[in-house]
Amino acid sequence: MSKYIDIAVNLIGSALEKNIHAVIQDAAAQGVSPLIVIGSELDESERAIKCCQQYPQQLYCTAGVHPHHASEWQADSSERVKRLAAFAQVVAIGECGLDYNRDFSPRPMQRKAFEAQLALAVELQMPVLMHERDAHEDFLAILKEYRPSLPGALLHCFTGNRQSMQAYLELDLHLGITGWVCDERRGQELAELVLDIPDNRILIETDSPYLLPRSMRPKPKSSKNKPQYLPYISAYIADLRGQSHKEFSQRVYENSVDFFGLNKLENVSLEKSGSHEAS
């Protein structure tokens, strides 16, 4: 069986949370393990760490503040993120970035929180997991200042155009591709663009419980997306790229392990967490 890593799962604070054990086990049965749990605000990031501690080597997480929550960024937020990032379960700073589509937080606050988290990722020498929607120019301008000092940068759930893709690849970003690519209505442009993402820069994700692949047959009874569906997304993208399912999934798995430093974490087990407990 091929191995997969779902690099973006909204496990905490979503419809999946009440069935965490089943979600993890059903995914593992399809070769999808570990899962990277997204932290979209600081309290949620703390809960994600606690959850990961209950499922060692099956769950890892990020710690950060999504642009939707940027208005909650306070003077002590950087220190809180830094404290959370000390846990062995935390493999990236984020989810952070800019979202001008919904503007749930004022744009100046979004930019402030984004810059602060990029600076933290540089200071801690941790990779960053980012979000960008309808904010390409500001996002790119801010990221350019920090990218040379970042050990890794991932734009998850990429749904941009060719111009934005080329700009992000020029900055040596990893791009996360979701089941959006399986949508014959909205995902046609992305289906064309995935052909041109270099083998060493593409990652795959469900972004569950959102973005259930529309082309799945038979169609799941529930509209909730799940990590167990990642092999379908992988095979769909491999077909678009003209690559064998096995070779593509293996390359993307290796990309994910390298980006999040999972080999190193497995070698040291949960050493860092021995002297920490999520509060």
**What's the confidence (pLDDT) of residue 264?**
78
**What's the confidence (pLDDT) of residue 273?**
43
pLDDT tens, 266-277? 655 444 444 344
Give me the phi and psi of 201, to 5 degrees please: -125, 0
**What's the confidence (pLDDT) of residue 270?**
43
- What pTM value is reported for the model? 0.94
What is the separation of C-alpha 127 from the centre of its chain, rounded to a whole number of angstroms? 11
Residues 6+ apart with CB under 8 A from 136: 160, 164, 167
pLDDT tens, 11-38? 999 999 999 999 999 999 999 999 999 9
CA angle 133, 233, 189 (to 5 degrees): 45
- List C-alpha distances in Å: 155 to 52, 71, 77: 23, 21, 22
Tokens 């700009």 — which residue?
167
- Whether the bond between 56 and the residue before it is cis, its omega within 30 degrees of 0, is no
CA distance 17 to 25: 13
**CATH 3.20.20.140, domain 4-275, yes or no:** yes
CA distance 7 to 9: 7
Output the CA torsion sign for 207, 210, 214, 218. positive
SS3 189: helix
Residues of the chain with pLDDT under 70: 266-279
